Amino acid sequence: MLDDLHDYWDAAHYQLQPSRGKGGRSSEISIGVNVAALSFIAGHDILNFLHSWEAWIRQDRKLTPPALLKKPENLSAEIFEAIAFAKTHIVWSANQGWFDDFLAELKQIHSQGRAAAKIFVEQKKRIPCPGETSEGLPCGYMLIVRQDDQMLDVFTCAKCKTEWTSLRLVAVALSDPKQEVWLDLEAIANWLGISERHCRRLAKTHGVSKRGRLFNVKEMRDAFVA
């Protein structure tokens, strides 16, 4: 959950458009922005949570007081460093009497982040089947693929009866030079057979294009091969 916070904060920047319900209605349409995302990207909720507990940890462990630390160069770096501090001391923290309170607050801010980044939206996607019909024509039937699919789960096209996995669909898409493929780090890590941490490091080192929590798969593949 700590690792997710910075990802959610980053993804929330792509969710500033007004949310639209059925009939074009939206509780946020009057001011023209996604209120949850706007609040979350300000960083106050994340940093108030992380900094308050960091102050306690530094005091109890007799570490450098927050007031004497160098200010990070930007908000992204500040959130990243605060998360890194919490992770560094997580084993010690887990043995403290206040850890249940810390965990409860973490779950709350994590939930806010999911809402701001709209992680709960689009749990399934529709992808045109790249197979062929018995007449040799492109199938095009819309396959339903869930975001929590395990990449190797088999599903069958109701029209052309071709069996697919998400992994195979990615391979087909990658074979088309005009087709852009975007997946989250977990899916890319499963596809490449490496850890999410390695994926994150490749993305940062090679400047892989990113859309919220999704990364360009072709660029990630090229970075991995390099």
What does pLDDT average to over the chain? 79
> Of 77-86, 146-155, 159-168, 185-194, which gets the smallest average pLDDT?
146-155
- The pTM for the full model equals 0.49
Q: What is the pLDDT of residues 22-79, one digit of tens each?
A: 444 443 333 444 666 777 888 888 999 999 999 999 999 999 988 888 888 888 889 9
Q: What is the pLDDT of residues 96-145, one digit of tens each?
A: 999 999 999 999 999 888 888 776 544 456 677 888 877 777 787 877 76
CA distances from 200 to 81, 121, 149, 215, 226 (A): 16, 23, 21, 10, 15
Q: What is the pLDDT of residue 126?
A: 65
Q: What is the pLDDT of residues 199-216, one digit of tens each?
A: 889 999 999 988 777 888
**DSSP 8-state assignment for residue 17:** S
Q: Span 17-26, mean pLDDT? A: 43
Whether the pLDDT of residue 21 is over 50: the answer is: no
CA distances from 135 to 37, 155, 160, 200 (A): 48, 22, 10, 44
- The H or E element that residue 221 is part of is helix 217-225
Three-state DSSP at 146 gives strand
- Give the domain ranges of the chain: 2-117, 124-225
The gap from C-alpha 25 to its chain's centroid, in whole angstroms, comes to 27
> Of 6-15, 47-56, 84-93, which gets the smallest average pLDDT?
6-15
CA distance 200 to 86: 19
* Rounded to 5°, angle at Cα 115 from 113 and 118: 105
